[in-house]
Structures are given as structure tokens and as C-alpha cells.
Amino acid sequence: MVDKQQASYHHGDLPATLVRTAVEMLDEDGEVELSLRAVARKAGVSSAAPYRHFPDRISLLSAVAAVGYQELMAGLAARHPQPASTADLADLAVAYVEFALDRPGLFRVMFAEGCDRTSPDRVAAVDAIHAYLREAVGRVVETDDPSATATGMWALVHGLAFLYLDGKLDASSRKEVAARIRQTVVAMQEARSR
């Protein structure tokens, strides 16, 4: 007898289904421990099926991380396709931290889990974010090294995201979170300009 969950998957793109299922699991419970077996069970396929496409947990996590980076990039670009001011950069910082707070499980897979650093999809997605930030910084900040400055700004905002996620900063009021992030980005930019 086939159970209802197993009957839900028929044919199609199993790797995409498994990645989508893993992302859904992370969105439902940011603390879930992803395993190939758990993702297979949730997707309604046999526990052996994922191994045809993902040889190990790291390869699945890398595919999930790539989706996370793509979604983060889409959100940033939707907020400001071509950031042109410090205020725009501050808005992007807010969007970045909001992504982390709204999707903590996915964010942790993207940044805190072991991933395959050579995964082509993951590398391409990370490179797209780097290029976007480098170009934004190049337009907004007077610097001889937009790449290093973009990395520094990313590190600042990324650190804020984890401070909020880990409860070191109070995230109970999104309005206050956004205000604090904007103030921090503007203050760092003003300090840099002196």
C-alpha cells in the first residue's frame, strides 16, 4: 500500500522538488535538521531517491543555499535595481536583515552550514550578489576599492543579521530593527567620509 505522501510525487524534476521541499521545511521550522531522508519523506519519495541527484547532505544543502542566494538577490534588486544613495544602501541592509529574520532556517543554511564551495549554482548566485553590491558601492561610495568596501559593508550588515537572529539585539519590533540598521549604515558611511 502506498501512503498518501508517497503518492503525491509522480514525475518531473526530482532535484528541484527536493530542493523546494527542503526550503519549505526550513520556512516551516527554522530549527529543522535537514537530512536527505527527511526531505525524501516530506517530498513523498523513497529514502533512496535523493541519492540519485545529491550524493550527500552537503550537496543538497549547497543547492538549497543557491536558491536562498537567488531569492535574497531578487529581493535586494526588487528593493533597489540600481542603488544610488546611502539611503538606498541602508534600505538594502534592512532588506538583508529582514530576509534573515523572515527565513532564519534558510539564512543559516546559506551562511552557517557546510556547503560545497565549488557548487556551480551556489557560486553563480554568490557571485551575482557580490557583483550587485560592488556596483552599488561603486555608485554610492567614494572609494579606490569598491570590492573591499562592498565586502566590509556586507560584513557589517551580515553581522547585524546574526546579532538579531541570535538574540543579541532585540528583534521584537521590526520598525526599531529597520531604524537601527539604517542608523548604523548611515553612521558608518559618515564615519568613513571623515
Per-residue pLDDT tens over the stretch 138-179: 899 888 898 898 899 999 999 999 999 999 999 999 999 999
* CA dist., res. 27 & res. 78, Å (int): 21
163 shares a domain with 76: yes
User: 50 and 62 share a domain?
Assistant: no
pLDDT of residue 7: 42
Q: What's the pTM value of the predicted model, to 2 decimals? A: 0.88
Domain carrying residue 169: 56-193
Quote the CA–CA distance of 105 and 164 in Å, as a whole number: 14
One domain, residues 40 and 135: no
Q: pLDDT tens-digit profile of 87-99?
A: 999 999 999 999 9
pLDDT at 2 (0 to 100): 40
Over residues 76-81, the mean pLDDT reads 94
pLDDT of 71: 97
- Give the count of domains, the chain: 2
CATH code assigned at 114? 1.10.357.10
Residues 99/72, Cβ–Cβ less than 8 Å: yes
Pair (60, 149) in one structural domain = yes
> Does 149 share its domain with 188?
yes
Q: What is the CATH number of the domain that holds 18?
A: 1.10.10
